[in-house]
Amino acid sequence: MTHAASRAWQGPSLAGPASLVVLAIIVLPMLVLLQGSFEASSAQSVIQQGLTLANYQRFFTDPYYLDIFFVTVKVAALCTVLALVLGFPVAYFLARTQSRHKSLLIILVVFPLLVGNVVRAAGWMIILGHAGAINSLLGWLGLADEPLKLLYTPAAVVVGTTGIVLPYLILTLQSVLEGIDFSVEEAARNLGANPIVTFLRVTLPIATPGVAAGTVLVFILCMNAYATPVLLGGTGITMMAPALYDQITKAADWPFGSAMALILVVSTLVMALISHSLINRKYAKTMAA
């Protein structure tokens, strides 16, 4: 084998093992879900032979499941926006700071990722509970005569989910912002632009690729959240991941649960790609101008 041929095979040989792993742990289970979603179920058998669209028809014609889907989209979108609003200033500060404690600050952002989502959700339960930190503080300050119902509400799910996905967005944005030459901000200031105009017309457009990547990642995580809606939402809110889990484990309706899983995956992917495309298109127009 010649040297050129050897170099041509070097890439596929290196990517081959990783591709096989992805095929085994992602593609094959998705194919099993796809097949199962077209099966029928009955009281006598979990899965019956034969292909049918009844599971998808049931989902898209039942107001209950459509409501669960739209609630999931609303919560995911709201959490993504909140994470962006709260995370951008932190990422910007981390990117610009020259402090010798910068590594420590980044470690503090990464540290929550070392703790499981269940543990972090349990922490929010302590904060938002009937006798939790917030109600105790409000009672001590005399701002509430009786404890507020903060836990097992949609607001609790939004707060908890935003807190869980926030580090992902901060780290994604921070890595992009560090590649920006901040002298362009100084140039804009010298030309008379105020801080708000500088941010909207200079910093934000340059950081758009990072915003796109971070928001897509966070939106996907929010759409597929399970532990946080279950622990913080209780019966006050139902989202897609807990709903499809109940179909498989409690109702033993594997075909319908598989259909719900495919709908969740495909809809999340489509919405993420659309938003990513729109943001990048806006970025291209801004840079061209």
Whether residue 14 is predicted with pLDDT greater than 90 in this model: the reply is no
Residue-level length of the chain? 289
Write down the pLDDT at residue 284: 64
Whether residue 278 is predicted with pLDDT greater than 80 in this model: the reply is no
Q: pTM value?
A: 0.83
Write down the pLDDT at residue 66: 94
Segment 179-194 mean pLDDT:
77
Where residue 144 falls among pLDDT bands split at 50, 70, 90? confident
pLDDT, tens only, 232-268: 988 888 899 999 989 888 888 888 888 999 999 889 8
Whether residue 289 is predicted with pLDDT greater than 70 in this model: the reply is no
Where residue 197 falls among pLDDT bands split at 50, 70, 90? confident
Give the separation between CA 258 and CA 281, rounded to whole angstroms: 34
CATH of segment(s) 69-288: 1.10.3720.10
pLDDT, tens only, 39-87: 876 655 555 566 788 889 989 999 999 999 999 999 999 999 999 999 9
Give the range among 37-41, 59-63, 115-119, 213-217 with minimum mean pLDDT.
37-41
Segment 83-111 mean pLDDT:
88
